[in-house]
Amino acid sequence: LGGSETVNGRPCKVVEATPKDPSKEVYSKVVHCVDPTNHVVVRRRFFDGKGKAQKEWTGARIEKVDGNWIVYDQRMRDLQRDVESRMEIVDIDYDVEIPDSVFTTEYLTR
């Protein structure tokens, strides 16, 4: 969109994404705020079929770990119902061996 905003202290570029056929999608468009220095999305606003902002996702704490950008604290707010959910990652490990038994139907449905 050519604009800029500051989100959680990060100066961002504003990018709008629209589906080819909005009538077949849940959201008519999504507006992303992207930190141009590392291309990390720090906020997304989702719009309903009438063009009204419906939800907002925000990455509050974002850090680079082993070459990967990790969103440690993220929130999704329903703007129309005024409710929020939050997911926080407290620890992360890479290159961990996971046994094949973890990926069985029995294990995953327990």
Q: What pLDDT does 8 receive?
A: 82
One pLDDT digit (tens) per residue for the chain, 110 residues: 667 888 888 889 999 999 998 788 999 999 999 999 999 999 999 999 888 999 999 998 899 988 889 999 999 999 999 999 999 999 988 888 999 988 999 888 87
Predicted TM-score (pTM) above 0.75: yes
Q: What pLDDT does 77 receive?
A: 97
The fraction of the chain above a pLDDT of 70, given in percent, is 98
For 92-106, the pLDDT digits (tens) are 888 889 999 889 998
Q: What pLDDT does 1 receive?
A: 64
Q: What pLDDT does 109 receive?
A: 86
Selection from 48, 82, 23 nearest residue 31 by Cα? 48
68-78 sheet: strands from edge to edge: 4-7, 10-17, 29-35, 40-47, 53-65, 68-78, 83-88
